Amino acid sequence: MGFSRNGRNLLIAPSILSADFLRLGEEVKSAEEAGADLFHLDMMDGHFVPNLTFGPPVVAGLRKITTLPLEAHLMVLHPEIYLQELADAGIDRVTVHVEATTHLHFVLARIGALGMKAGVALSPATPVGTVVDILDMIDLVLVMTVNPGFGGQSFIPHSIKKIAAMRTLLDEAGARHIRLEVDGGIKAGNLARVADSGADTFVMGSAIFGDRPCSTVFGEIRAVLAPPG
């Protein structure tokens, strides 16, 4: 969408978890035409989180219908076992949870070795300082603003302070190139406040894929993030 706010380029990442899977191709095309910057793919294994979603075959199918970047958000235990298949399916970036592996450095190194960009995700109770020792291995930090596992949850209000703290950590570490993504309960009504707290990439699911046309929703997003004047 090409927005800038507070000196940062802002990106909108529709989450296909909220799309109509019987019309997934149409939903993806509609969001792309409306102004999506990338697509966020929530992959869940029924163990790290109670929900179960989809795997690499769906990713490969999406790669055939869009040229936009695809990021896989792995809410799974043992994320390393999925990495080769995701690389083969055409994923651009893989985000793994700090809480899901005891060998985070190894997993991030493997993602890079397979030619994909790496991100780390933090659940609501995980402190921002857990990323300090791997900043040189990632290009994205994902702050979860709901508990991972299900779409359609409400934004956790305390997340605003956590986003701001992560922004400060990245800036003070000289890591402004690392994108700060937020995921969970993001809607037009709280988008500006979240952006002003320091986030620059916004995962939006039910707010985009619903009863209204994507073009209408993206119009509201434009009005919020880039008001006239």
In sequence order, what E strands does 50-205 have? 70-75, 93-97, 117-122, 140-144, 179-183, 201-204
User: What integer pLDDT is reported at residue 120 of this predicted model?
Assistant: 98
Can you give the residue ranges of every domain in the chain? 3-225
User: What integer pLDDT is reported at residue 4 of this predicted model?
Assistant: 79
Q: Which CATH architecture has domain 3-225?
A: Alpha-Beta Barrel (3.20)
User: What integer pLDDT is reported at residue 6 of this predicted model?
Assistant: 79
User: What integer pLDDT is reported at residue 210 of this predicted model?
Assistant: 85
> Which residues participate in catalysis according to the annotation?
42, 183
Alpha helices in 7-123 (DSSP H): 24-34, 56-63, 83-89, 104-113
> What are the mean pLDDT values of the chain's consecutive 10-residue runs (229 residues total)?
79 94 95 97 93 92 96 96 97 97 96 98 97 97 91 86 98 96 94 95 93 92 77
Residues 8-46 as b or e (16 or more Cβ within 10 Å = b)? bebbbbbbbbbbeeeebeebbebbbebbbbbbbbbbbbe
User: What integer pLDDT is reported at residue 29 of this predicted model?
Assistant: 96
Spatial separation of the C-alpha atoms in residues 27 and 210, rounded to whole Å: 10
User: What integer pLDDT is reported at residue 227 of this predicted model?
Assistant: 62
User: What integer pLDDT is reported at residue 113 of this predicted model?
Assistant: 98
First to last CA, the chain: 18
